[in-house]
């Protein structure tokens, strides 16, 4: 089993506290929630070092509980880090290589954006623009919780948190207005960087 190593949280980018459409309180509260997932990841992984493997059981066991907790907390850490990282930009239309791939795989930027927004309304946790290494295409995937509906071998490029905690303070139950505000603050440079850095990145020849 993995030897425990403490995971340190990523700092909050100061520009996220100045984003149009998002109050300081909304972002600060959301960041506190992220810190909770980091703490739980560390707590669970520490307990996993000494958990009883001899009683492992798929209905209930200490090991099962801890591993389920690890899936949920660690996916929560990753998704929130990607979410905060892909905010704080100028928003607007996608740029660069990712824009070319969106046009290729969705037909147009408008068709992608309509599908991305609708995905954000159709799921309870996350909407993710991802590059799927299996069919080598972009897709908008949805997920009801950090550890539910995860697609294997799909690299997240743009991550949108649609849990109520992400927008309730500023938008009440108006999720569509929150998604519009999110899209006005996307950092497309970060999205393009993810695309270029990932293993098996598609060739740039589409430009
Ligand atoms: Fe969240």
What pairs with residue 128 in β-bridges? 141, 159
Q: In the chain, at which residue ranges do the beta strands (DSSP E only) sit?
A: 126-132, 137-143, 154-161
pLDDT the model gives residue 205: 67
Distance in Å, CA 52 to ligand 1 centroid: 32
| Separation of alpha carbons 84 and 82, rounded Å | 6
Distance in Å, CA 200 to ligand 1 centroid: 29
What pairs with residue 127 in β-bridges? 142, 160
Distance in Å, CA 37 to ligand 1 centroid: 10
**Cβ neighbours of residue 90 under 8 Å, at least 6 residues apart?**
187, 188
**Cβ atoms within 10 A of the Cβ of 121, count?**
12
| Separation of alpha carbons 65 and 59, rounded Å | 10
Distance in Å, CA 133 to ligand 1 centroid: 26
Quote the mean pLDDT of the chain: 96
Distance in Å, CA 6 to ligand 1 centroid: 22
pLDDT tens-digit readout, 74-83: 999 999 999 9
For the chain, list the domains and their CATH numbers. Answer: 23-85 (1.10.287), 96-197 (3.55.40.20)
pLDDT the model gives residue 1: 66
Average of pLDDT values for 40-60?
97
Distance in Å, CA 126 to ligand 1 centroid: 9
Distance in Å, CA 104 to ligand 1 centroid: 30
**pTM for the whole structure:** 0.95
Residue identified by tokens 């880090």 is 81
Distance in Å, CA 4 to ligand 1 centroid: 25
**In this structure, what token pair is assigned to residue 19?**
């984003």
Distance in Å, CA 153 to ligand 1 centroid: 23
pLDDT tens-digit readout, 103-148: 999 999 999 999 999 999 999 999 999 999 999 999 999 999 999 9
Is residue 125 classed exposed, middle or buried when 0-12, 13-18 and 19+ CB atoms within 10 A define those classes?
Answer: buried
- 75-85: buried (b, 16+ CB within 10 Å) or exposed (e) per residue? bbbebbbbbbb
């Amino acid at each position: 089993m993995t030897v425990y190593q403490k995971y340190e949280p990523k700092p909050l980018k100061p520009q996220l506290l100045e984003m149009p459409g998002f109050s300081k309180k909304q972002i600060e509260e959301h960041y506190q929630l992220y810190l909770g997932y980091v703490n739980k990841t560390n707590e669970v992984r520490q307990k996993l070092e000494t958990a009883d493997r001899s009683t492992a059981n798929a209905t209930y066991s200490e090991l099962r509980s801890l591993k389920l907790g690890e899936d949920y907390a660690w996916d929560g850490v990753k998704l929130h880090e990607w979410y905060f990282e892909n905010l704080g930009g100028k928003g607007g239309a996608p740029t660069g290589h990712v824009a070319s791939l969106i046009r290729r795989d969705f037909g147009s930027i408008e068709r992608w954006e309509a599908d991305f927004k609708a995905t954000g309304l159709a799921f309870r946790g996350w909407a993710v623009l991802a590059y799927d290494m299996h069919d080598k295409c972009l897709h908008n995937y949805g997920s009801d919780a950090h550890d539910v509906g995860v697609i294997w071998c799909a690299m997240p490029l743009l991550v949108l948190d649609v849990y109520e905690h992400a927008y309730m303070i500023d938008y009440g139950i108006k999720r569509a207005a929150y998604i519009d505000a999110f899209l006005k603050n996307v950092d497309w440079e970060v999205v393009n960087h993810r695309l270029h850095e990932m293993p098996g990145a598609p060739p740039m020849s589409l430009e």
